[in-house]
Structure 1
């Protein structure tokens, strides 16, 4: 039996920490392959950042395979599906604290693990701890010497339209 990755557990822990402290949890996603379902008009440089707070989502489910929820984009409700492998980071938008992960895109048509194309590791975002998986699936934390995050001039806001 294959060991389950620690990544989804860390993601759920950071999400819970954000909500317990009144922060807005964000999910940074690498959009590659056909499995990711996000609004393509909001994808920039193959990446998208999603607000996964309780007020911004409906039916949020974070399991060991994927993050699934509904959210409004430009007033239109969309179904979002993000495989765990595509998640780059989970962090609090207010202070940038959270965790970054390796994302290794699968080459189109890859049928087994030997055909996975390895890319450069994700560089950690300010205030994030980078977690890299070694060949055994064990996660290890990379140390970062990131300076304190700068204060934002304006807080993000969510307008609820009924």
Structure 2
């Protein structure tokens, strides 16, 4: 497997798509940010013990939102003071709505098989086997638990 590096990051596109969809559906967006990533500018006194910070980025909570190529920037109030925040996309670990109905976790890297991997049948079989093994086993249903088969009836 190889890490995609010759293409631009998909993170800004995925983030914008989820942000726009949540806005269109009138959902309030929250993000969890790893504040230790280079380029993050957030009020450090609000960072949790794990080095992260949860931010409400809904339109009523922030101002001046800019969804740039490498980061998002916006103004937000903390303890009555306005702060300009900068959050690189690589620092965003998750986005969700206020009610917890929608959750999107950002991946650190995207790995894809190389062309050699695709030619090697044993690699493909191993990958297929891993996918099958990761799927949970479902217990066999008894005849009583199985849904009744639909019957069609001709009506004239």
TM-score (norm. length: structure 2):
0.64
Query: What 5-or-longer segments of structure 2 have no aligned partner?
Result: 114-133, 137-156
2:56 — aligned with what?
51
Matching of residues 106-125 of structure 1 within 5 Å = none
CA RMSD between the two structures: 2.6
Distance (Å, rounded) in 1 between the aligned partners of 2:15 and 2:99:
17
Residue 52 of structure 2 is aligned to residue 60 of structure 1: no
Higher-Rg structure is: 2
Deviation of 1:15 (Å): 0.9
Q: Indicate conservation of the 8 Å contact 2:32/2:54, yes or no.
A: yes
Distance (Å, rounded) in 1 between the aligned partners of 2:27 and 2:135:
22
2:85 — aligned with what?
80
3-state SS in 1 of match to 2:18: helix
3-state SS in 2 of match to 1:16: helix
Distance (Å, rounded) in 2 between the aligned partners of 1:61 and 1:144:
40
Which range moves more in the overlay, 90-99 or 18-27? 90-99
Q: Indicate conservation of the 8 Å contact 1:14/1:98, yes or no.
A: no
Question: How many residue pairs get matched?
Answer: 112
1:41 — aligned with what?
45
3-state SS in 2 of match to 1:22: coil
Deviation of 1:95 (Å): 2.2
| Moved beyond 3 Å, runs of 4+ | none
Deviation of 1:135 (Å): 5.8
Distance (Å, rounded) in 1 between the aligned partners of 2:11 and 2:101:
18
Structure 1 residues 40 and 135, CA gap change in structure 2 (3 angstroms): farther
- Relative contact order, higher structure (CA 8 A, sep 6+): 2
Structure 1 residues 30 and 75, CA gap change in structure 2 (3 angstroms): same
Residues 43-90 of structure 1, C-alpha deviations (whole Å, 9 max, x = no match): 101011111111111110112200100111111000100111111012
1:30 equivalent among 18, 31, 34:
34
Deviation of 1:33 (Å): 3.9
TM-score (norm. length: structure 1):
0.61
Deviation of 1:34 (Å): 4.1
1:134 equivalent among 107, 111, 114:
111
Deviation of 1:3 (Å): 1.2
